[in-house]
Structure 1
Amino acid sequence: MTLMDERICSLFKRRWQQTLTYWSAFFSFGLCIAFLGPTVLDLRCQTQSTLQQITWVFFSQQFFLLVGSSLGGLFKRTLSSSLIALFCCTLIISFVFAIIPLCNHVLLLSVAMAIAGLAMGVIDTIANLQLVKLYQKDSAIFLQALHFFIGLGALVSPLVADPFLAEDSCVLGANWTANSPSSSDLQHLRNSMAGHGAVIGNISQYPLHTEGLVITRVSYAFWIMALINLPVPAAVLTLMYHERLLSCSRNNPLLIDRDSLSSTSPTSDSGQGHGSWIGCFNPAKLRGRPASFFILHALGGAILFITDGIIGSYAGFVYTYAVSPPLLMGHKTAGCLDSTFWASITIGRLAFIYLSYRYTAPRLLTFSLVGVILVQCLLLIFYTSCVFLFIGTCVLGLCISSVFPSMLAFTEDILDYKGCVTTVLVTSASTGEMVLQLLVGSVIQSQGSYSFLLCCTISSFIGFCLFLLLLYVQHSHRNCHTESSQNTELKEKPKTGGS
């Protein structure tokens, strides 16, 4: 274990600047993904739009995050293009934070959030890609840390926004005193919309004015977040300077840091390695691949589609489930569930940084997925207990926190870091978070709040079954790869003997 510690520390010391830069970029990602839910009512006042209109802002961000995740692989060919894209995207996030207070129409706000979502998707893919390329077989530890920084940013963002949120109606109409919702009603609306705009139930009963005097201080929150985020593009710029990417001189040394390629093959950036969706379907690359190669991509993507979908669905609807019968939890108490869930995910990722080099990725994934199933089943059994809902929310966050980084490291290892795994998995996870949330929301509307837990439990079982299938296909793929290597050696032996 001491030797392992020394080796990991040695790797980190040689690549600390690149690693910290990618981690900070994920902090920027988390900062941007979590602010919209708490601030959406103030943004509704700012744009003087209806509740139904403002929910399109959530869709705009989520959809373009998916697009950005798909396009992120286009910047993988060189470290230069990756860092330039990362610098632009992190700077765009600060820029979007700064201009949000100037968006006085819901369409302008949707465009701003679409740009932010695109930048977030590119950051998601590039940071995962580059860390996997840097550390390869040792990437699990550093991927766990990378995803910890999403949670850290997601925790900071609401804390910054909270002091500037309006406690009462932020649009003062002529008859606002008689008809405006109370601060408790506004808190209920805010909590209902906190999960990426997953609004269900009859919330239209609250009269929200669109015409009148707008009084909101939320602009200060966005400007503070823009300043908090500025060190991130500065860190990327510093890394570009360190890598000698800022000079136009042709006499420069290699544009790619020697350490960053020390563990990769010479052709890792020549199109044979990680790629975008376009590169994934290149016939020249796919020719001669066994069927297991494609099945592994599909299974890895499907597992993350489900698990990230569970995260999005649980965060989106746990509040609505808590305030509905039979629990009928108070608005303030139920509002803590979403924060508790994200806090437990962040703590879980911090703990799994240590666990990921004590145990293999398959063991961690087995523990996590079985834990998710057990917690979901217990939540179904004790569905009338408010106390157990909090306990289950904590344990669920801890268990599910490591699935994405562990699955990414495991699948990349199976395929020897030569495929489009990262782009496929990141895009699948983003798709699952958006699509499953919509599906679960529609089921809850038609079948009631209890179906929320049932949907998540069924999804957990499907995810675990897919993981067992992944292990079986991995075994077959390894055998196939070993046989092909042995056949190649047998064919080459006469040639070497004759020479």
Structure 2
Amino acid sequence: MCKPTLTYWSVFFSFGLCIAFLGPTLLDLRCQTQSSLSQITWVFFSQQFCLLLGSCLGGVFKRTLAQSLFALFASSLAISLVFAIIPLCHNVVVLAVVMAVAGLAMGCIDTISNMQLVKIYQKDSAIFLQALHFFVGFGALLSPLIADPFLSDTNCILSNSTANASSSTANASSNLPHIRKSLVPHHPGNLSHYDLPMKGMVVTRVSYAFWIMALINVSGWDLGVARDLGWEDPCSSGLGGAGACWEYQEYSRESGVLETSFGDEGHDDLLSCCQSRNFRGASYTYFAVHITGALVLFMTDGIVGEYSGFVYSYAVEEPLAVLHKVAGYLPSLFWGFITLGRLISIPVSYRMKPATMVFINVVGVLITFLLLLIFSSSVVFLFVGTASLGLFLSSTFPSMLAYTEDILQYQGCATTVLVTGAGIGEMVLQLLVGSIIHDRGSYSFLVCGMIFGCLAFTFYALLVFFHRMYPKPSPELDDASPDKAAVPDDTGQYQR
């Protein structure tokens, strides 16, 4: 299963590239579309909403490895085309539609990659999931670095009446780095007090950044995987676990194409998961595990979104009053330590159970927010706490996914439900915290983080409780499980 696994990892790099470029480039895209700040920030919502929709529907592509690989190829190719097309979008509505397409592709990548790695490796999936989420962090770290040399240092719309420009416009134009760091997805009201020109000659070089990212994305995997959409026999590759070998089902004599059928039980898209056939005979603990697992990720992924979105705004306000240039390093520090934490988690997950890793993560998040509240007047500890928070949040999603799927014995709809819950949390909590900060002040930023951390720990404790109550597999079922995998006999036939 080497080729499919490498494919899932590489498409998550595409996911990371696409998820992180919008914030730094948004001011230049505002100039390109000649729109207001409030109008252009709704492009965030277009991308995030369709990412959530794509996550819900991604389970449709579940029947075979070939089908899932083709879906991922199409999604990553769509992202490459989006990067190439963005410089040609001179209307904000057209740009929003293009970003919606990118969001759908990203959602499909998110659900399919997580789902298929869990299906292939099952009890051994934790280490492969950690590696998968390292690649999205690496892409998110690289994307702003590619864009940075091409960003405008001054306002990129030269007004025809520069001599009559208002003082507020001049002040805003001279303070673009501050505005750039203040851009918050889903909360455009935060920018209503800035007045930048919307008419005039557009001077921006950001198009080169998008074309470079399109070339990186294509050369990185699209061309290679398009040539090798086939897959290896999981029993002979040595990388797949017993579950991967057990999934080996069909051989087409006519075409000579190997297929892996994943069956119909569980791992559907969100709409299929809600069908009554999945409820027959299910105990209340079955539903409780799905719900509490999704709520843990709703909180932790929500913390990632709201912290990365608002830590800069919190730092530049009183009582810290950090210089804008210095505060601008905080989001980069946060994402850098998320990427570092995911890299460290790859070998750690080989030795440590997913349940233990999730416990360490949620407790670490709680303690970090508590210390940030205690030392709220310390600039040094804000940087230390930001790095610590990135480390503890880094491996929460893959560890939680592996733990929940293990509880449910790789049945049900855990992957789809958890991915959807995480996406909703990232979108909703960011909007909620933006509204609270606007009404209550910057200190509420840390208070909200502490509350979300407490809720994440509470839901995790409930998940452990329901895990203890969840029925164990019967010996009869265990004999038919992937652990009793099919192995080839002397004639090359697969028998159980």
Q: Scaled by the length of structure 2, what TM-score is found?
A: 0.88
TM-aligned CA distance change 1:376 to 1:200, over 3 Å: farther
DSSP 3-state at the match of 1:269: coil
Q: Please tell me the residue identity of whatever aligns with 1:20.
A: L
- Mapping 1:297-316, distance limit 5 Å: 297-316=290-309
Aligned to 2:111: 125
Residue of 393, 399, 403 corresponding to 2:386: 393
1:431 corresponds to 2:424: yes
Residue of 39, 46, 50 corresponding to 1:53: 39
1:412 corresponds to 2:405: yes
- Mapping 1:189-204, distance limit 5 Å: 189-193=179-183, 195-196=184-185, 198-199=187-188, 201=190, 203-204=191-192
1:167 corresponds to 2:160: no
Structure 2 contact 72–109 (Cα < 8 Å) conserved: yes
Residue of 86, 89, 107 corresponding to 2:93: 107
1:221 corresponds to 2:204: no
TM-aligned CA distance change 1:258 to 1:348, over 3 Å: closer
Cα deviation, residue 45, structure 1: 0.2
- Mapping 1:209-288, distance limit 5 Å: 209-230=197-218, 231-242=220-231, 261-264=244-247, 269-288=262-281
Cα deviation, residue 240, structure 1: 1.1
TM-aligned CA distance change 1:109 to 1:290, over 3 Å: same
Unaligned runs of 5+ in 2: 234-239, 250-259, 479-496
Aligned to 2:22: 36
Aligned to 2:453: 460
Residue of 34, 50, 68 corresponding to 1:64: 50
**2: distance between equivalents of 1:258 and 1:327?**
52
Deviations 1:155-182 (A, max 9, x none): 1100110000000010000333654346
Aligned to 2:8: 22
TM-aligned CA distance change 1:268 to 1:296, over 3 Å: farther
Structure 2 contact 47–100 (Cα < 8 Å) conserved: yes
**1: distance between equivalents of 2:316 and 2:476?**
58
Deviations 1:65-118 (A, max 9, x none): 000000000111222221121111000000000000000000000000000000
Deviations 1:318-361 (A, max 9, x none): 00000111111111111100000000000001101111111111
Structure 1 contact 169–180 (Cα < 8 Å) conserved: no
TM-aligned CA distance change 1:276 to 1:182, over 3 Å: closer
Structure 2 contact 301–423 (Cα < 8 Å) conserved: yes
Aligned to 1:338: 331
TM-aligned CA distance change 1:368 to 1:454, over 3 Å: same
Cα deviation, residue 199, structure 1: 5.0
Structure 1 contact 28–90 (Cα < 8 Å) conserved: yes
Residue of 290, 294, 308 corresponding to 2:287: 294
Cα deviation, residue 362, structure 1: 1.2
Deviations 1:120-141 (A, max 9, x none): 0000001101111111101000
**2: distance between equivalents of 1:16 and 1:485?**
29
Deviations 1:188-210 (A, max 9, x none): 110111x5355564x44433111
**2: distance between equivalents of 1:395 and 1:98?**
37
Cα deviation, residue 145, structure 1: 0.6
Aligned to 1:352: 345
**2: distance between equivalents of 1:295 and 1:131?**
24
Structure 2 contact 51–104 (Cα < 8 Å) conserved: yes
DSSP 3-state at the match of 1:180: helix
Cα deviation, residue 265, structure 1: 8.4
Cα deviation, residue 259, structure 1: 9.0
TM-aligned CA distance change 1:136 to 1:282, over 3 Å: same
Residue of 180, 185, 188 corresponding to 2:175: 185
**2: distance between equivalents of 1:463 and 1:149?**
25
Cα deviation, residue 485, structure 1: 7.3
Cα deviation, residue 308, structure 1: 0.2
**2: distance between equivalents of 1:331 and 1:176?**
26
Structure 2 contact 17–142 (Cα < 8 Å) conserved: yes
**1: distance between equivalents of 2:66 and 2:476?**
36
Aligned to 2:440: 447
Structure 2 contact 361–392 (Cα < 8 Å) conserved: yes
**1: distance between equivalents of 2:362 and 2:423?**
19
Cα deviation, residue 285, structure 1: 3.0
Q: Scaled by the length of structure 1, what TM-score is found?
A: 0.88
**2: distance between equivalents of 1:258 and 1:134?**
7
Q: Please tell me the residue identity of whatever aligns with 2:81.
A: F
Structure 1 contact 181–206 (Cα < 8 Å) conserved: no
**2: distance between equivalents of 1:134 and 1:441?**
40
Structure 1 contact 305–430 (Cα < 8 Å) conserved: yes
Q: Please tell me the residue identity of whatever aligns with 1:37.
A: G
**1: distance between equivalents of 2:112 and 2:227?**
17
- Mapping 1:353-368, distance limit 5 Å: 353-368=346-361
Aligned to 1:317: 310
DSSP 3-state at the match of 2:411: coil
